[in-house]
Amino acid sequence: MKDPAAPRHSLRSRRDPAAGPFQHVATDDLGTPVPVPEPPRRIVSLVPSLTEALAVTVPERLMGATDWCTHPADLDVARVRGTKNPDRAAIAALAPDLVIANQEENRKLDVERLRADGIPVWVTVIESLDQALASMGRLFTEVLGVGEPDWLRTAAEEWARPAPEPPLQAVVPIWRDPWMAVGPRTFTGDLLRRLGLRTVVDDAEQRYPRFEPAALPDVDVVLLPDEPYVFTADDGPEAFPHVRTVLVSGRDLTWYGPSLATARGRLLDAIAR
């Protein structure tokens, strides 16, 4: 895949006699040219957050999604296995004119194989809230041609509010055995900062560094999400006996679809209790 710093916003149109429908060639978040019909009508999503975004905004165009795509709750599309092991034959059988993937959630190898099969793949890069808003805005306006969704506009307004003061020292585990936490250069890390939280587990080399609960510096609060590891009242808080722990929705912390419009309020309420 190309360097995320590569130019991204070029857009040109062409008519490909072999392809049939009028197409334009847009560059995805990695700067890769992607031939896209105007507009795409048959989409497969390999990213749970973007699956929800598509299902809410253009449900008639969403043909397939991964087994991990759990929202909306009534999502009824073909399943194409997981984010890390998509079923390429099942995807091809759906005859998509666009597959949507993400640099972090999906494998470069699977993207390359799908493209080699002649299937256009649009790769998103989302490591911050601003990137999420810009990437989804471009997807819906430039690629899908439907304009900016109301939920995306609301999300931008909500998260533009100032962070609470003073900031709290926090740690947000995402796994145990080994213990791993949200670190720098991550979408969730950016959300935490906007919630007035400073992560104490920080490693310039690791976006999700390992840590030992007993070795943590002073911490005001530990947020325990229910994904990717399912922390519960009986599994997680006992490791931090002298720190306030708060169980929160992993979707509110890690998903960048329509849940962003309401996640900030729910997370602030949970932290304030």
CB-based burial, 216-246: b 16+ in 10 Å, e otherwise: beebbbbbbbbbebebeeeebbebbeebebb
In this predicted structure, what is the pLDDT of residue 21?
56
Model-wide pTM > 0.85:
yes
Q: How far apart are CA 176 and CA 244, in angstroms?
A: 18
In this predicted structure, what is the pLDDT of residue 62?
98
pLDDT tens digit at each of 273 positions of the chain: 434 433 343 334 333 434 445 678 899 999 999 999 889 999 999 999 999 999 999 999 999 999 999 999 999 999 999 999 999 999 999 999 999 999 999 999 999 999 999 999 999 999 999 999 999 999 999 999 999 999 999 999 999 999 999 999 999 999 999 999 999 889 999 999 999 999 998 776 788 999 999 999 899 999 999 999 999 999 999 999 999 999 999 999 999 999 999 999 999 999 998
In this predicted structure, what is the pLDDT of residue 14?
38
The domains of the chain, with CATH numbers, are 11-148 (3.40.50.1980), 159-272 (3.40.50.1980)
Q: How far apart are CA 81 and CA 121, in angstroms?
A: 17
In this predicted structure, what is the pLDDT of residue 22?
60
In this predicted structure, what is the pLDDT of residue 6?
39
In this predicted structure, what is the pLDDT of residue 12?
40
Q: How far apart are CA 195 and CA 46, in angstroms?
A: 28
Q: How far apart are CA 66 and CA 174, in angstroms?
A: 21
Which of 75, 76, 101 shows the shortest CA–CA distance to 88?
A: 101
Q: Is 174 exposed, middle or buried (0-12, 13-18, 19+ CB in 10 A)?
A: buried
